[in-house]
Amino acid sequence: MREKLFLRNPKNPILSAKDWPYEVHSVFNAGAAICKDETILLARCEDYRGISHLTVARSRNGVDGWRIDPSPTILGEPKRFKEERWGIEDPRITYVEEENKWYVAYTSFSSEGPLVSLAETENFKDFKKHGAILLPDNKDAALFPCRFNGQWFMIHRPVSMTSGASNMWISSSPDKLHWGHHEVLLKTSSGGYWDCVRIGLSAQPLRTEHGWLVLYHGVRGTTSGAIYRQGLLLLDLENPRKVLRRSDAWIFGPEENIEIKGDVGNVTFSCGWLLDEKKNRLHMYYGGADTVICLATAPFDRVMDYVRKMPEV
């Protein structure tokens, strides 16, 4: 029997469109943060046009009792930011301690394809948008929370026009807005592997004593469509361009009805997780079938034991 690391919360889905204070078609793929002792989810909300925006939900325990902003918190603003023409999606939130601010890397759905945009906030009420920071096609981005030799680092997922490859890349920047030193961090695997078709960052990188813990998603194509699952990576603490270990098997994937059936079936897709160090619990928020928001939790020490036994890269 395979060891199950993440167990689903019995209250799943913890948030869905029917909980929303205004009309939305679906809520999923939420970024996660802790602000003033509250769990903040920045949910991707899709309206009945098919256009997404982001809205804050707050809770004391991260499971229920959510207070949801009464109207969209961050909307696409195509007049100010042309690239936000068809909405904004899939936020990843990174707390930058040296500035006491959160940075939100999100996907802007531009007429040229998806690209990476950046915003910052000090309170999850006011957001300052910085606009597009990477060209299309690119998505699945998050900042690291600290500098390395003075430089900021970011993981992202461009798509190659030539090979069609969807690999994870890593880049650095002096100011979080201008990015260079682009390098492939991780390639899709091959053959029938769970992550052979496409990969991309899921939640924001998490610092641990053994290295940066990264949750990523992998896609496998089947005769009845794609399956989106989650795996883990461990990156070198001092040099996050170096992958130390990689899941050869997925650690989480669609099993429940709400993950198998929905707008896009067979999808579990995380954009945020939170570590409760006192309780030794790692909480992974994820979208089920691009329709609802769910939660699964794992004992952190067991995750780290597992990660340290994963194959070396």
Site residues for ligand BMA per CB under 6 A: 29, 89-90, 228, 264, 267, 269, 287, 290
Q: How far is residue 203 from each of residues 22, 231, 250, 272, 288, measured CA to CA in Å?
A: 27, 11, 15, 4, 15
CA 53 – CA 45 distance, rounded (Å): 5
- Taking the complex as a whole, the smallest distance from the CB of residue 225 to ligand BMA amounts, in Å, to 10
Q: Which is nearer to ligand BMA, 96 or 159 (CB)?
A: 159
- Taking the complex as a whole, the smallest distance from the CB of residue 45 to ligand BMA amounts, in Å, to 12
C-alpha angle 147-282-263 in degrees, rounded to nearest 5:
100
Q: What is the dihedral of CA 109, 17, 281, 251, to 10 degrees?
A: -60
Q: Which is nearer to ligand BMA, 129 or 139 (CB)?
A: 139
- Taking the complex as a whole, the smallest distance from the CB of residue 210 to ligand BMA amounts, in Å, to 29
- Taking the complex as a whole, the smallest distance from the CB of residue 269 to ligand BMA amounts, in Å, to 4
Neighbours of 235 (CB within 10 A): 24
Q: How far is residue 133 from each of residues 112, 115, 142, measured CA to CA in Å?
A: 14, 8, 12
Q: Which is nearer to ligand BMA, 68 or 293 (CB)?
A: 293
Q: Which is nearer to ligand BMA, 201 or 234 (CB)?
A: 201
- Taking the complex as a whole, the smallest distance from the CB of residue 105 to ligand BMA amounts, in Å, to 14
Q: What is the DSSP string of 21-43?
A: SS--SEEEEEEEEEETTEEEEEE
- Taking the complex as a whole, the smallest distance from the CB of residue 259 to ligand BMA amounts, in Å, to 11
- Taking the complex as a whole, the smallest distance from the CB of residue 312 to ligand BMA amounts, in Å, to 29
Q: Which is nearer to ligand BMA, 240 or 254 (CB)?
A: 254
Q: Which is nearer to ligand BMA, 107 or 121 (CB)?
A: 107
CA 186 – CA 179 distance, rounded (Å): 18
Question: Residue 139: CA atoms inside 13 Å, Cβ hemisphere, count?
Answer: 21
Q: Which is nearer to ligand BMA, 69 or 89 (CB)?
A: 89
Helix (H, G, I), strand (E, B) or coil at 83: helix
CA 172 – CA 290 distance, rounded (Å): 31
Relative to beta strand 88-96, strand 152-158 is: unpaired
Scored b (16 or more CB within 10 A) or e, 172-202 reads bbeebeebeeeeebbebbeeeebbebbbbbb
Q: Which is nearer to ligand BMA, 21 or 225 (CB)?
A: 225
- Taking the complex as a whole, the smallest distance from the CB of residue 3 to ligand BMA amounts, in Å, to 26
